[in-house]
Copies of this chain bind each other. A is one copy, B any other.
Amino acid sequence: MIKERVCGVFGIIGHEEAANLTYLGLHSLQHRGQESGGIACSDGTVMRRQIKMGLVSEAFKRNALQELPGRTAVGHVRYSTAGSSDIRNAQPFVLDYAHGQVAIAHNGNLVNAGDLKKKLEQAGSIFQTSSDTEVIVHLMARSGQPTTLGRLVEALSQVRGAYSLLVMADGKLFAARDPHGFRPLVLGRLKDAFVFSSETSSFNLIEAEFIREVEPGEVVVIGDSGLTSSKPLPKKPKKFCVFEHVYFARPDTTFDEQTVYHARIELGRQLAREMPTNADVVIPVPDSGVPSAVGYSKESGIPFELGLIRSHYVGRTFIEPQDSIRHFGVKLKLSPVGAVVNGKSVVVVDDSLVRGTTSRKIVKMLRAAGAKEVHLRIAAPPTTHPCFYGIDTPTRSELIASNHTVEEIARYITCDTLSYISHDGLMKAVNGQDGGFCSACFTGDYPVELSGGANPIIPLRKRIETDG
């Protein structure tokens, strides 16, 4: 159960209900980011934007959507970075430049954004946000290319890193994916409209037909004359983020013909094969650990039970009461079912293990409820390296597996045994034996070189805007 988050993007062109469908699309991508949601819509003349902090379903009221007329829209849900909830960084951005207006929504992270921003500022540019995404628009503004596509390609040829990008400008909708294809981006059709989304689960919801993935390095343009596609950037090996299968994506989403639910069932089965355990009962850490626990139970034959109940009511705004009761955090979210674990040897299946603090509390909770033995099984390899391609991971020093052995971790967590799936087992489960995945967080093998070791996140810390 890790705390990492990514972002989600959705776009549509050619539908009377563009804003409504984008709202639904963001709803289906909500698990990718809960900090803020935004929709920008164009009616051909005017771009309008609504940006809201919080959940799409709670923040967008009916009249918000009514104020967004038009047949083209892009939307974005954003993850929550520690301590910063500056609405200036909420996407989509809508910017005016010499060639009109541009709306942009971005999932990913550019590793050379800091360098580019510095150069642009030295040439006189003024940035509005601390987001790496804004760099792309400034590069477009500085481009001498005569078309929007030309300016976008010129900008993309200067950036390095991960991006699945939607750009609305000039009456067209542009979709671009970086040459490695780190982040997902899929193309679909709803009657006469084209739709793009981070996940196919959006298409299930709005009853759109899945056409295909936007390919790594591809730029798709939808305009009045339909769809055109090009691959203007140097080809690179595919490096799709394996963590999408492990944790981020919804179980009903499909990437490259593999459904995430089945990948997770396979992870559980593989885990049972690699590390068989003699126990009375298999219980998941809900909700993300459930499919792997089902898979583990199937393969091992140990009965599956719900030994931990997850509250639906742990919001994003839990107050921290007085010291005397501060340690209730995890207990509010998860409660053991005494009758299931009491006197039993229990296998606990979780999707990943980052810092270890939550796992430690779960083990303590299960023992207090009477569990005789607690065997922790993780459906991912040890997370040893931070991600620089769009996931908000802790620094290396906080990743428990980067500086401790499995035995040390087990001791810290106080479980009887701990085991992780192997890297090979992971690749087998996601059909990635022949490559095609980025698993740098487990291996440290980064496909795109970082920018001089500098933090690729551009800080805009000095200017503080508060609400009094």
Binding site for B on A (CB under 8 A): 16-17, 20-21, 23-24, 27-28, 30-31, 34, 45-52, 55-58, 60-65, 67, 94-98, 100-101, 118, 121-128, 137-138, 141-142, 201, 204-206, 250-252, 254, 259, 261-262, 287, 290-291, 294, 298, 303-306, 309, 311-315, 317-322, 324-325, 328, 331-332, 335-340, 460-466, 468
Contacts and interface: CB of A to CB of B under 8 A. Distances in A.
A126 B97 contact: yes
A58 B317 CA distance: 6
Nearest to A98: B121
Contact of A250 (B30, B49, B58, B309): B309
Contacts of A28: 311, 332, 335
Contacts of A315: 55, 57-58
Nearest to A465: B49
Given A67-B468, A259-B338, 12 more contacts: A20-B325, A24-B325, A28-B332, A51-B465, A57-B313, A97-B126, A98-B121, A121-B141, A124-B141, A204-B335, A251-B309, A261-B337
Contact of A46 (B298, B336, B462): B462
Given A141-B126, A201-B335, A339-B254, A462 B23 contact: no
B252 A328 contact: no
Nearest to A460: B96
B101 A463 contact: yes
A319 B55 contact: no
A93 to B, nearest CB: 10
A318 B126 contact: no
A428 to B, nearest CB: 18
B62 A319 contact: yes
A46 B463 contact: yes
Contacts of A322: 17, 20
A27 B50 CA distance: 32
A158 B313 CA distance: 38
B31 A313 contact: yes
A100 B126 CA distance: 10
A305 B137 CA distance: 46
Contacts of A468: 50, 52, 60-61, 63-64, 67
Nearest 5 A-B pairs (CB), nearest first?
A64-B468, A259-B339, A124-B142, A98-B121, A20-B321
A128 B94 CA distance: 10
Contact of A313 (B17, B55, B123, B304): B55
Given A64-B468, A252-B336, A294-B306, A313 B462 contact: no
Contact of A65 (B52, B201, B318, B321): B321
Nearest to A261: B337
Contact of A339 (B262, B311, B336): B262
14 contacts: A20-B321, A20-B325, A24-B328, A31-B312, A45-B462, A49-B464, A58-B317, A61-B468, A101-B463, A124-B142, A126-B141, A204-B336, A252-B336, A290-B306
Given A67-B466, A96-B462, A464-B46, A24 B332 contact: yes
A62 B30 contact: no
Nearest to A46: B462
Given A49-B465, A97-B121, A465-B49, A252 B126 contact: no
A270 to B, nearest CB: 17
B205 A332 contact: yes
A115 B287 CA distance: 48
Contact of A128 (B46, B126, B314, B336): B126
A261 B369 CA distance: 15
